[in-house]
Amino acid sequence: MKRLALLLLAGCAAPPQAAPPELRDIRALTSAGTHAEAYWSADGKKIVLMGERAGDPADQIYELEVASGTLTRISPGKGKST
């Protein structure tokens, strides 16, 4: 009887719903380190973000080229940049 009840409950489960269009192509753009506050460039080719990576004394400002994945620190690397 318990098995029948489980089968009946399993048949009542709602089907999975598709993700909204804006959430269908999610991918990580950075790895290693801590990243926060990111802003897209007007042309959509770069992201400017605040992050702390190995060797940084504190948060620094980085520029990420989205197509290549190249991450370049654009702050001087001394002290905290926010």
Nearest to 36 by CA among 62, 11, 12: 62
Q: What is the pLDDT of residues 3-58, one digit of tens each?
A: 544 444 455 556 677 878 888 778 777 777 787 889 999 999 999 999 888 888 88
Specify the pLDDT at position 53. 85
Say what the pLDDT of residue 55 is.
85
**pLDDT for res 77:** 84
Predicted pLDDT of residue 52: 87
In angstroms, the CA 51 to CA 48 distance is 10
Q: Say which residues have a Cβ less than 8 Å from residue 69's Cβ, sequence separation at least 6.
A: 29
pLDDT for 63-78, tens place per residue? 999 999 999 999 988 8
At 8 the pLDDT is 47
Check residue 7 and give its pLDDT. Answer: 45
